[in-house]
Chain A
Amino acid sequence: MFSDDNRLITECLQGRTEAFGELVRRYQDRLYNTVYRLTGNAEDAQDIVQETFLNAYLSLDSFKGESLFFTWLYRIAVNTALSLKRRSRRLVAQRIKARLNDEELEPSDNSEDSQPGLALERAEEERRIQSILNRLSPEHRAVLILKDIEGQKYETMADILGVPVGTIRSRLHRARMELRELLKQLDKG
């Protein structure tokens, strides 16, 4: 897979743009899922993923193959998503409110049409978890998603977020503690 990535990148650098389309197809779902969990908004996630691929295309010559292509893509996407969030905290607050009102999330698994009760229940649970995630700061949310959803190692996360491993360690600890507090409050309420 990874040597295949390198082949496609080489072809792309040689001017075969379609090779980049193959890379997009290969990684769009995984990237979208992460960005969606970071932003909590489908439209934003789609825009960010598209811009990520375009930025990646333009910077393809700077990809040195020291990390995996997907890690490199993550770096662009996560930083774009985080910057967007940092710059528009007010908008985020509004969206969190909207999320708490269960306005934007849709059931994600259509295969459960035959069990509408179960699908609704799962969708409800998803909304609940996502709304809690959205209450975390973007930095804390990012480390939790990278660790728990993507299963990345601290070292890779440090590479993606451009911070030392020690920062990841302490940030993840604070994120888990913050999440714990939020869940406790939710349980009490």
Chain B
Amino acid sequence: MLPDRLARLLTSYIDGELTARQRRAVQRLLQRSPEARRLLAELRGDSALIRSLPARPMRQDLSQSVLQAIALRGLRVPPPRRAAPRWRLLSPWLAYAVAASVLLMIGTASFLYFDTAERWDNRRVVVQKENKLARPGDNRSTSATPAGNQQASAPSEKRPDQPVTPTTPSPVADTPKPQLPEPPAVVNNQSETQPPKPPTVVNNQPKPEPSKPGPSTSQDELTTPRSVEPRPDPLQVTPPRLNILAVRELDLPEVQKQLTDDLARTDALRLELFCLDSGKAFERIQAALQGQGVRLVFDPDAQAKVRQKAKVDYVFYTEDLTATELAAVLRHLASEDKKAAARRPTDGQFGKAVLNPLSDTDRRELAALLGVPVGQLARSSAMSPASRKPERAMLVVSYTPSRSGAPAREVVKQFLDSRGDRRPESLQVLLVLRNL
């Protein structure tokens, strides 16, 4: 009999999962041991036997039924989780360097801004002085002087009685100057009758982009209304799905508030709870519901699966819970699941809770699951508090959409028939417990 250690090497050998050294050891073993050779041949034969099984393709295109189920259940892909920014993974020194660069850039930009502003002020002062010194009627210095020349002139280089001209050729003087638009006639007229006003500097100030003569901004252009593109109405929003929440956070005050707000927006909802193992998660839901005095009414198939602790999806349906009670159930669920996870991390069962308003599609799906017409789900309006039923019930069926449409079982009929009128403020709740 070959020792187990060597037999293990042989199984890894036929799987091609040995290191070179182990492979050499196995080859030496095979050379000297007929028993090893026999076992290897048998293991290879067994493996070949399994590999000889023919491939069994699916006999139908499943994509249509999957897409249909997605649409029927109103499933949506959650928005992508934001990955941690890459810079967080880099050295902290890089962060310091980036911060220093940003500060440097801000400093440089500030300097340039204030420096430029000061130059503009200086130019403005020069122009104003020139305007004051200009003889009445002589507007050459203010309106006919090319702006480019003024740009090149410095206050200290000018004499008050001279037109503003550059004393030294500027580096850009040789370049062809753009044709400036003629100054508006109204300025000249004003200058003849009134002392020049500071605003006339507008005509003398260099254009922001003199090298790019754009279309002239005439008064007509400024006053002609432009075609305004329609902007989306900020108040017009599409009705959103309610929310995606982490079950274990449902006992936090701020999350509870958000949940209560969400529940207040609807009177019928579909709540999907995602769990690791519905066999265990079911017990927690049951305890949370019983804490609110809710009795579970089991479809026989679902009851058998619950007893087996089978990992299957379940549907719970009730019209007897108020938003406050449902919030309390979820709070209880969150706290119990958190406690379990604290005892042993693998005991935490719940992931996300997805809340959606109950759509017509959901109602049709529920009716198909229960095996009743959609109309039978409808229930008369809220009853008076005096006739309120003391007991609240919730129907539990296993969630097997592919087998939906079967006739309703007796227990389902009884559950639906025994419903009274709805309590005031009670919600129609379709809860789906789904395995991840």
Contact = CB atoms under 8 A, between A and B. Distances in A.
Interface of A: 12-13, 15, 17-18, 20-22, 24-25, 28-29, 32-33, 36-37, 42, 46-47, 49-51, 53-55, 57-62, 80, 83-84, 87-88, 108-109, 122, 125-126, 129-130, 133, 144-145, 147-149, 153-154, 169-170, 172-173, 176-177, 179-180, 183
Nearest to A54: B69
Given A46-B402, A88-B310, A149-B51, A58 B67 contact: no
A62 B8 contact: no
Interface of B: 7-8, 11-12, 15, 17, 42-43, 46-47, 49-58, 61-67, 69-71, 73, 75, 77-81, 274, 277, 279, 308-313, 400, 402, 434-436
Contacts of A176: 11, 43, 46-47
A169 B80 contact: no
Contact of B67 (A13, A20, A32): A20
Given A24-B66, A25-B63, A108 B11 contact: no
B62 A126 contact: no
Contacts of A108: 54-56
B8 A170 contact: yes
B54 A109 contact: yes
Given A55-B436, A84-B310, A129 B53 contact: yes
A127 B310 CA distance: 28
A50 B79 CA distance: 22
B11 A83 contact: no
Contact of A172 (B11, B49, B58, B79): B11
A17 B73 CA distance: 13
A83 B12 contact: no
Contacts, number: 149
A95 to B, nearest CB: 15
Given A125-B52, A176-B46, A169 B17 contact: yes
A29 B435 CA distance: 23
Given A37-B56, A83-B311, A176-B46, 14 more contacts: A17-B70, A18-B67, A50-B402, A60-B78, A61-B79, A87-B279, A87-B308, A88-B308, A122-B54, A129-B53, A172-B12, A176-B11, A179-B46, A180-B46
A128 to B, nearest CB: 9
A130 B53 contact: yes
B282 to A, nearest CB: 12
Given A13-B80, A129-B53, A20 B66 contact: yes
Given A22-B63, A25-B61, A25-B63, A50 B50 contact: no
A65 B271 CA distance: 29
Nearest to B83: A64
Contacts of B79: 13, 61
A148 B47 contact: yes
A79 to B, nearest CB: 9
A177 B15 contact: no
Contact of B11 (A42, A46, A55, A173): A173
A32 B61 CA distance: 12
A12 B79 CA distance: 10
Which A-B residue pairs are the 3 nearest by beta carbons? A21-B63, A24-B63, A148-B50
B11 A126 contact: no
A154 B19 CA distance: 13
B279 A61 contact: no
Given A33-B55, A149-B51, A173 B8 contact: yes
Contact of A62 (B17, B61, B69, B81): B81
A126 B53 contact: yes
Contacts of A126: 53-54
Contacts of A129: 49-50, 52-53
B58 A12 contact: no
A152 to B, nearest CB: 10
